[in-house]
Homo-oligomer: A and B are copies of this chain.
Amino acid sequence: MNTQEIMNILWLIFEIIGTVAFAISGALLAVEKENDIFGVLFLGVTTAVGGGIMRDILTGELPPKAFQDPVYVLIAAVTSLIVFFLMYFTKGNIRKKLAMADAVINVFDAVGLGVFTIFGMNAAAELGHGENLFLRLFVGMITGVGGGIIRDILVREIPSVLCKRIYAVASLIGGLIYYLLVKLGMNAGVANFIGAASIFIIRMLASKFRWDLPKVDLDK
């Protein structure tokens, strides 16, 4: 295999990891909210493919890719069912385990955010909007955060994009880095990884060091 082929396979693996990560985050949230097995499946799949569906609606690529090609829905469905049965057959305190899982999810979720942002930007470019940085950053961001927004609205949580540290901002900064690297002549495959990785790293640093953006103190 040459470098290009290896990178294509790596990228596919990352896409699957992103899908799995988002499905896990949706499925676990559904378990927390005491939904039944179908609710867990529905929320897991919706979280995993929701961002891509929003991207396809906004770019007019309809029906959405997720509806045309079952593979990502299948991956998300299997993931969600595994999450459900793991929790179902687990002995002992589930609430404690869900709290522990949160830290793991946070890492996977950041992978998904990174991978899907870059995917969204590339999808916009393939539709002839390669030169419109503004549009590509927004389509990328929506692809990255859209599934989580739908997930949180469905279970009546405040969307993490509004309250999680440096979430959409990480998507925009990494998207900009990716755009500039390609502009500067970097191989697109390598730039894909660096863009997604920079989003992942910014999110992880923000979580680790509890970076907070400024806030208005209502009771000052």
Number of identical monomers bound together in the oligomeric complex: 3
A94 lies within 8 A of chain B by Cβ: yes
Residues of B within 8 A of A63 (CB): 58-60, 124, 129, 135, 139
Q: CB < 8 Å: which of B67, B159, B169, B219 contacts A135?
A: B67
Residues of B within 8 A of A129 (CB): 63
Is the Cβ of B168 less than 8 Å from the Cβ of A132?
no
The CA of A218 and the CA of B30, in the complex, are separated in Å by: 12
Is the Cβ of A215 less than 8 Å from the Cβ of B37?
yes
Is the Cβ of B68 less than 8 Å from the Cβ of A36?
no
Is the Cβ of A64 less than 8 Å from the Cβ of B58?
yes
Residues of B within 8 A of A216 (CB): 31, 34, 84, 87-88, 94
Q: Mark A7-43, 1 if CB is under 8 A from B, else 0.
A: 0000000000000000000000011111111110011
Residues of B within 8 A of A98 (CB): 218
Residues of B within 8 A of A30 (CB): 162
Is the Cβ of B154 less than 8 Å from the Cβ of A159?
yes
Is the Cβ of B68 less than 8 Å from the Cβ of A132?
yes
The CA of A134 and the CA of B43, in the complex, are separated in Å by: 18
Residues of B within 8 A of A134 (CB): 67, 70, 73
Whole-angstrom distance from the CB of A14 to the nearest CB of chain B? 24
13 residue pairs A–B, Cβ–Cβ below 8 Å: A34-B216, A35-B215, A39-B163, A58-B62, A58-B67, A63-B135, A63-B139, A68-B132, A87-B216, A94-B217, A94-B219, A155-B162, A156-B156
